[in-house]
Amino acid sequence: MYEFSYYKSGSVEDAVEAMNKAEDGKFVAGGQTMLPTMKHRLASPSDVIDLGGIAELSGISVDGDSVTIGAMTTHAEVAASGDVQAMIPALAQLASGIGDPAVRNQGTLGGSIANNDPAADYPAAVIALGATVKTNKREIAADDFFTGMFETALEDDELITAVSFPKADSAAYMKFENPASRYAIVGVFLAKTGSAVRVGVTGATPCAHRGMRLEEALNSNFSADACDGVEIPVEKMNTDIHASAEYRAHLVKVMTKRAVAACS
C-alpha cells in the first residue's frame, strides 16, 4: 500500500471540508473494498478520510412506509435489525448473505453502493425498491444513481448520508453466488407493490440495472412462466472465468423465477 495521510472526521461537514482540501482524497467507510484495492496498489489516494467517527451516519429508522438506513450502518446491523426484518425482510436477508461474518461486521451500505461493484448485492435492492440515496447535497433516485461499472452519480466531494427504502407488498432477493467470495454471479431483487413489479439485476452486466423486459412480462402476468418468453440480451452480459454470458443470461431468468415464486 502506498503512503497517504489519514484523517478521522467528526462530522459530515468536516469530512467534506477535508475532501475539498485534499489533493486526491478518498472517503473510507468499512474499508472492505478500499483496503484490498489499496493493498494491490490499484488505488493510491493522497488522503484517506475516515467516516467511522461520524455517529449521525449510522442507524436505522422507520418513517411511515419506508426504512431509512444510515450510510455507515454495517451489513451485520442491517441483517439483525428488527425494523428491517419487519418492513422489508428481503433486504435483511440480502445483507445477511454478503461476504462472511467479519466482512459484514465492517462493510457498510454507503460503501457498497458508492463502490458499485458489478457483482455487489445492495444495488439490486436499491433499484428494485426504488430507494432514494441521500447525500450531503441532494437526494438521488435509484434509477439515476448507478451510472456504469464502478461509476455512480456521486461527485468527488459528495458523501452518501443515508438510503431510504420504501416498503414493498412483497419482495425477494435470489442470488447465485460465487462460492469463494459470495459476490453475485447473478442476483435478482424483485419487489411488488400493488400490481407494479420492479426487478433489480446485479452481477449480470457491467452495472446493476432494472430488468425492464422482465418487469413488462410480470406486470401483465405475475407468474414464473411469464419469464419464459422474455429474451435476455446475451451480448450485454458479463463473461469471465466464473460464468459465460450465455450462462448469466440463463441465470437472470432462473433467479427471477425463484423470486417470483417466493413472492407468490
Ligand X SMILES: Cc1cc2nc3c(=O)[nH]c(=O)nc-3n(C[C@H](O)[C@H](O)[C@H](O)COP(=O)(O)OP(=O)(O)OC[C@H]3O[C@@H](n4cnc5c(N)ncnc54)[C@H](O)[C@@H]3O)c2cc1C
The answer to whether residue 181 forms part of the interface with ligand X (CB under 6 A) is yes
Q: 115 is in the binding site of which of another protein, ligand X, none (Cβ under 5 to 8 A by kind)?
A: ligand X
**Which residues 56-95 are close enough to bind ligand X by CB under 6 A?**
71
| Residue 119 DSSP symbol | T
Q: CB-hemisphere CA count at 13 Å for 11?
A: 3
The answer to whether residue 23 forms part of the interface with another protein (CB under 8 A) is no
List the one residue from 4, 9, 22, 26 that touches ligand X (CB under 6 A).
26
Find residue 5's DSSP bridge partners.
Answer: 47
Cα-based distances in Å from 93 to 10, 207, 217, 237: 31, 22, 26, 26
What's the closest the beta carbon of residue 196 comes to ligand X, in angstroms?
26
Percent helix, percent strand, percent coil in the chain, to nearest 5: 35, 25, 35
The answer to whether residue 46 forms part of the interface with another protein (CB under 8 A) is no
List the one residue from 23, 64, 180, 241 that touches another protein (CB under 8 A).
180
Cα-based distances in Å from 137 to 22, 140, 156, 158, 162: 19, 10, 12, 7, 12
What's the closest the beta carbon of residue 25 comes to another protein, in angstroms?
12
Of 207, 208, 217, 206, which Cα lies nearest the Cα of 253?
Answer: 217
Q: 200 is in the binding site of which of another protein, ligand X, none (Cβ under 5 to 8 A by kind)?
A: none
Q: How many residues bind another protein (CB under 8 A)?
A: 29
Given the rule CB under 8 A, which of 17-25, 102-110, 223-231, 244-252 is the region that contacts another protein? 102-110
List the one residue from 16, 28, 218, 252 that touches another protein (CB under 8 A).
28
| Residue 47 DSSP symbol | E
Q: 160 is in the binding site of which of ligand X, another protein, none (Cβ under 5 to 8 A by kind)?
A: ligand X
- DSSP three-state, residue 109: helix
CA 252 – CA 242 distance, rounded (Å): 15
The answer to whether residue 10 forms part of the interface with another protein (CB under 8 A) is no
Q: Which three cell numbers stand for residue 50?
A: 475516515
List the one residue from 60, 78, 87, 120 that touches ligand X (CB under 6 A).
120
The nearer residue to another protein, 29 or 197, going by C-beta atoms, is 29
Task: Lay out the site mask for ligand X across 30-49 (x = CB under 6 A, - = otherwise).
Answer: xxxxx-x-------------
What's the closest the beta carbon of residue 125 comes to another protein, in angstroms?
21
| Residue 49 DSSP symbol | E
Q: End-to-end CA distance of the chain, in Å?
A: 49
The answer to whether residue 199 forms part of the interface with ligand X (CB under 6 A) is no
List the one residue from 11, 61, 147, 181 that touches another protein (CB under 8 A).
181
DSSP letters along 51-69, please? -TT-GGG--EEEETTEEEE
Binding-site ranges for another protein (CB under 8 A): 1-6, 8, 28, 31-32, 35-36, 38-40, 48, 50, 52, 76, 99-103, 105-106, 180-182
